Amino acid sequence: MFSFQLLSALFSVALLVSAAPAFPGTPPKAGECCDTSAAIMDLPKNQTQLVAPTTAPLFVALGVGIQNYTCSTSTLKYTSTGAVASLFDISCIDKTPAFATIQTTAFNAWKAAPASLTATAIGAKVAAPSLLGFHYFVTAASGTGISPKWDFTSTGKNAGNATAFVIGAKVGDITAPTDSATNVDWLALNNAQGSLASKIFRIDTVAGQPPASCVAGSADISVKYTAKYYLY
Ligand SMILES: *[C@@H]1O[C@H](CO)[C@@H](O)[C@H](O)[C@H]1NC(C)=O
Ligand SMILES: *[C@@H]1O[C@H](CO)[C@@H](O)[C@H](O)[C@H]1NC(C)=O
Ligand SMILES: *[C@@H]1O[C@H](CO)[C@@H](O)[C@H](O)[C@H]1NC(C)=O
């Protein structure tokens, strides 16, 4: 589905043409992370759907991509048909002031990006240059429906490592604490397949929700979004 060489080329071009903000310290290479042992996932207190593990996360990532929807002719609402996102390491900026709002900074850059710019080019524009991998959907193991996958097998130090992926099964879901009509839900997922992580969380979402309703015959839509993903 993705060519690493092509993505690397696009990534290098993006690094050259964009005036990337100064990276604090030495920028990590693609797929490399900083120490995540002190990283803490900040969850709303008044809920039990998303429960932070007691161990440190393995990866702290920024996701930049799209949520896809189709118009259900029975409900005249948009229903999810999956998502595609590029995942950047943000463990290296975890304790910097930029971290709290990186998803908004990235969303603004992504929203303003011309159609020719891929999500993979956005990381370098927001001081998150290290591409960890990709998030997309695959046919569910049952053969019916789709399951979300986080795939690090083609990038950085995991390139060529066929087990560096995780397919998730949703176990928790809360509406976004702010602007939930605009921002997609915060989620908890457990490992259903793969060795990359045992739990995945999507939090700090920006945009991605479809319009509230659709008319019969509406075309499929893709809605840009960003989020933080914590993999444990
Ligand atoms: C989402 O939509 C885009 C077009 O906007 C398409 O390229 C992509 O394959 C779609 N992905 C999924 C999982 O539906
Ligand atoms: C949890 O608190 C947030 C504000 O901190 C509020 O917006 C939200 O509605 C609350 N959710 C529940 C389920 O009480
Ligand atoms: C391959 O990836 C898996 C999952 O991240 C990891 O546990 C394993 O150590 C990796 N293997 C090598 C040779 O790097």
Q: What is the per-residue pLDDT for 188?
A: 98
* Collapsed DSSP state (helix, strand, coil) of residue 110: helix
Nearest to 119 by CA among 159, 82, 67: 67
Number of H helices, E strands in the chain: 3, 8
- 25 lies in a domain? no
Query: Which residues approach ligand 3 with their CB closer than 6 A?
Result: 158, 161, 163-164, 195-196
List the structure tokens of 60: 């702290």
Cα 29 to ligand 2 centroid, rounded to whole Å: 39
d(CA 191, CA 157): 22
- 19 lies in a domain? no
Residue holding tokens 């092509």? 6
- 70 lies in a domain? yes
d(CA 2, CA 130): 17
d(CA 127, CA 142): 40
Cα 163 to ligand 3 centroid, rounded to whole Å: 6
- 21 lies in a domain? no
**pLDDT tens for each residue of the chain, 232 residues long:** 444 444 444 444 343 334 444 455 566 666 678 889 999 999 999 999 999 999 999 999 999 999 999 999 999 999 999 999 999 999 999 989 999 999 999 999 999 999 999 999 999 999 898 999 999 999 999 999 999 999 999 998 889 999 999 999 999 999 999 999 999 999 999 999 999 999 999 999 999 999 999 999 999 999 999 999 999 9
d(CA 184, CA 181): 8
Mutate to test the pocket of ligand 1, among 66, 67, 138, 225 (most ligand atoms within 8 A of CB): 66
Residue nearest (by alpha carbon) to ligand 2 atom 1: 46
Amino acid at 214: C
Residue holding tokens 């990006």? 113
Domain carrying residue 107: 4-14+32-231
Cβ contact 155:123 at 8 Å: no
Cβ contact 60:93 at 8 Å: no
- 133 lies in a domain? yes
Which listed ligand is nearest to 231 at the C-alpha? 3
What is the position in ligand 2's atom list of the atom closest to the CA of 178?
A: 7
Q: What is the per-residue pLDDT for 214?
A: 97
- 108 lies in a domain? yes
- 164 lies in a domain? yes
Cβ contact 168:150 at 8 Å: yes
Q: What's the structural domain count of the chain? A: 1
- 24 lies in a domain? no
